[in-house]
Structure 1
Amino acid sequence: MNPTIKDVAQKANVSIATVSRVLHNLGGYSDKTKQKVDRTIKELKYQPNAIARGLINKRTQTIGVLFPDVSSAFSSELLHGIDEFVHNHNYSVVVCNTDQDGKRTLKYLQLLREKQVDGILFSSEVLKKEYYDLLEDMRVPVVLISSQTDFPNMPYVKIDDFQAAYDAVDYMVTKGHRRIAMISGTKGDPIAGTPRIEGYRKALEAHGIAFNSRYLFYGDFMYESGGRAMKSILQKAPEVTAVFAASDEMAIGALSTATQHGLNVPEDISIMGYDDLRLARMVNPPLTTVRQPLHDIGMIASGKLIDMIESGEIAQSQICAHSIVERQTVRNIT
């Protein structure tokens, strides 16, 4: 017969609640107690029963994560942080790919409802009212990642996109660039689109540089769209000396297209990205970019969600710090 949590508690001479807290890394016990419980678990070869545990605490120890594009490098780096934190706290993850325009978001929310997940991490997408209404019906905690909303009880973890874009363009201007094009994300996107464009415009304005609509191009945050936008820049605004892209993938697409057209980066044109993905360090030349601490954001958001699940209290939103990572794709022309 398989040992139970009660057997562990009796042999270790502690309460069942203490064993449970040790299993879930919840604290409230001494190191000596933890060592004793861990030793007893090994001696008895105790395996926690997820079904039985769920019947006791009415939880499945599972959280749902929704991404608009699971295959993107951006989602991958967030997911590493999420999975690391969640695994260390004895939860598991169900990952859902909602698609770029959210075509499958409602379908996946229904699926997560059927699976009775304990909470949801909602990433990089606008929280529409139809989503919010369904989440309210589900009565599970939700934390937004790289998104935010005015709906109540929806804490978020992100960086300040306006300020990050402002700082990127300010950096390029201090390097002597005044004809700076921007490759924005999806047109009209209120989360990662409009705030970054406003940061771009305000940084130009702060340096007495008039905004030129001919220098604003749109992509979809993906590599291919960055390449297409760069081709348009070379055709329609060949006088620009620098390009700020609202994602590293678009910046790398732009870099590739510039190279294909016989330009050297940064000697002929400077390019700056946004995110600081691992790819930014791997391209040649390595990409100067705005760093979002994506791994940390994933961990912080997971921590807030699990705290909400365990305590029933709403977490506070958090703006994480960004920084400029200077590599080799922006030339000083002063």
Structure 2
Amino acid sequence: MTPTIKDVAKKANVSIATVSRILNNQQGYSLKTKERVIEAIKDLGYQPNAIARGLINKRTQTLGILFPDVSSMFSSDILKGIEEIAHTKGHSVVVCHTDSSKKRMTKYLQVLNEKRVDGIIFTSEVITEDYYKIIEEMDVPVVLLATQSYRFPLPYVKVDDKHAAYSAVSYLIEKGHRNIGMISGPIEDEIAGRPRVEGYKQALEEHGITFDEKKLVITSGFYYETGTGMLSRLLKQDESITAVFAASDELAVSAMSNAFEMGIHVPNELSIIGYDNLKISQMAIPPLTTLAQPLYEMGKLGAELLLDMLETGKAVESRIVPHHIVERKTVKAYE
């Protein structure tokens, strides 16, 4: 028969209330009493929840995951990969939606500390000094996913954003396009914004094409809504554009919607390539050609590295994962 908290109390010769206080890390008992209760838990094999297990093996079998936007397709693909590995290794995950807010990020880091998570996967945002101080105090392994830090020594898993953007623009050039515009994410975003613009510019330069500021528009985010009207703005700045590189699939699909409103046929009159290879790229009409980063695989690899650090207590090497072009129906050779 499965042991109960009553059995633990009886074996340790304490009250049920005392066992409960110890399991919930509350006060009101001596160290000797706590040791006696933990010994009773071990002997009986009583494991009511992660807290009790953590008292015995110093682990809660729980990982904390921090996302700026849990509702996005980008986050869901990564989370599926994380959860697959975590579940296989007997861990659960606590997902936190920070909304790119410093206040919420700080709060959630404190919550994860209180819940005594074994490790943290930090995604898509910049690690600030304040965040790093809290992480250091928590003294748990951390893996960065789809982000990195030059300042702080934390392992990361990500695509080389500059190189990936370079590949997307080079693909358009190989298709014969020379007048290539870009719909960018926030330029102040040093993780995905600025590097993708730099990759765009470098591809132009190395193919003998002069960069023109009129061929670049900058949005406030990588989402569909932030791309609203950006294609029409771009074409007003330079009507000679024959192809557009959008810094995310959502921005690309927003541009396709804008093109439809303007009576512009994609790809016969305008080619568009996105970035990410989200499910929305397959569902778009026509299906979106895009630069794919392996989000699901990145989630799996990030979780594997974090669990390796937990098991071995040793640091792991950062990983740059490969990207590739997924050809669909929104890019046409320019003749």
Give the structure 1 partner of residue 174 of structure 2.
Answer: 174
Amino acid at match of 1:268: E
- For 2:332 and 2:232, the matched residues in 1 are separated by 20
- For 1:48 and 1:131, the matched residues in 2 are separated by 33
Pairing of 1:205-216 with structure 2 (within 5 A): 205-216=205-216
Pairing of 1:305-320 with structure 2 (within 5 A): 305-320=306-321
CA displacement at 1:217 relative to structure 2: 1.0
Please tell me whether the aligned partners of residues 247 and 274 of structure 1 are also in contact (alpha carbons under 8 angstroms): yes
Alignment partner of 1:69: what SS? Answer: coil
- For 2:195 and 2:266, the matched residues in 1 are separated by 27
Alignment partner of 2:93: what SS? Answer: strand
- Cα distance per residue 1:115-160 (max 9 Å; x no partner): 1111100000011111011101111110000100024430000011
CA displacement at 1:300 relative to structure 2: 0.1
Alignment partner of 1:104: what SS? Answer: helix
Give the structure 2 partner of residue 295 of structure 1.
Answer: 296
Give the structure 1 partner of residue 331 of structure 2.
Answer: 330
- For 2:127 and 2:140, the matched residues in 1 are separated by 15
Please tell me whether the aligned partners of residues 68 and 102 of structure 1 are also in contact (alpha carbons under 8 angstroms): no
- For 2:60 and 2:47, the matched residues in 1 are separated by 16
- For 2:298 and 2:125, the matched residues in 1 are separated by 15
CA displacement at 1:196 relative to structure 2: 0.8
- For 1:66 and 1:311, the matched residues in 2 are separated by 23
TM-score of the superposition, structure 1-length normalised? 0.84
- For 1:303 and 1:247, the matched residues in 2 are separated by 27
Give the structure 2 partner of residue 191 of structure 1.
Answer: 191
Amino acid at match of 1:273: G
- For 1:187 and 1:152, the matched residues in 2 are separated by 22
- For 1:303 and 1:270, the matched residues in 2 are separated by 38
Give the structure 2 partner of residue 105 of structure 1.
Answer: 105
CA displacement at 1:261 relative to structure 2: 1.1
Please tell me whether the aligned partners of residues 47 and 53 of structure 2 are also in contact (alpha carbons under 8 angstroms): no
Give the structure 1 partner of residue 248 of structure 2.
Answer: 247
- Cα distance per residue 1:166-205 (max 9 Å; x no partner): 0100000111111111111112111001111111001000
The change in CA–CA distance for 1:111 and 1:147 in structure 2 (over 3 A counts) is same
Give the structure 1 partner of residue 143 of structure 2.
Answer: 143
CA displacement at 1:111 relative to structure 2: 0.9
- For 2:187 and 2:105, the matched residues in 1 are separated by 20
- Cα distance per residue 1:216-270 (max 9 Å; x no partner): 1112100012223212113222221111011101111111111111111001111
Amino acid at match of 2:111: L
- For 2:189 and 2:286, the matched residues in 1 are separated by 30
- For 2:254 and 2:211, the matched residues in 1 are separated by 24
- For 2:115 and 2:50, the matched residues in 1 are separated by 14
TM-score of the superposition, structure 2-length normalised? 0.84
Give the structure 1 partner of residue 67 of structure 2.
Answer: 67
Alignment partner of 2:275: what SS? Answer: strand
Identity, in percent, stands at: 54
Alignment partner of 2:229: what SS? Answer: helix
- For 2:101 and 2:183, the matched residues in 1 are separated by 19
Give the structure 2 partner of residue 95 of structure 1.
Answer: 95
Give the structure 2 partner of residue 84 of structure 1.
Answer: 84
Give the structure 1 partner of residue 200 of structure 2.
Answer: 200
- For 2:55 and 2:126, the matched residues in 1 are separated by 34
Give the structure 1 partner of residue 228 of structure 2.
Answer: 227
Please tell me whether the aligned partners of residues 153 and 314 of structure 1 are also in contact (alpha carbons under 8 angstroms): no
Pairing of 1:151-170 with structure 2 (within 5 A): 151-170=151-170
- For 2:229 and 2:177, the matched residues in 1 are separated by 23
CA RMSD of aligned residues (A): 1.6
Structure 2: segments with no counterpart, 5+ residues: 5-45
Alignment partner of 2:274: what SS? Answer: strand
- For 2:162 and 2:50, the matched residues in 1 are separated by 44
CA displacement at 1:72 relative to structure 2: 0.9
Amino acid at match of 2:169: V
- For 1:76 and 1:289, the matched residues in 2 are separated by 18
- For 1:139 and 1:217, the matched residues in 2 are separated by 42
CA displacement at 1:102 relative to structure 2: 4.0
Moved segments of 4+, more than 4 Å: 46-49
- For 2:299 and 2:51, the matched residues in 1 are separated by 27
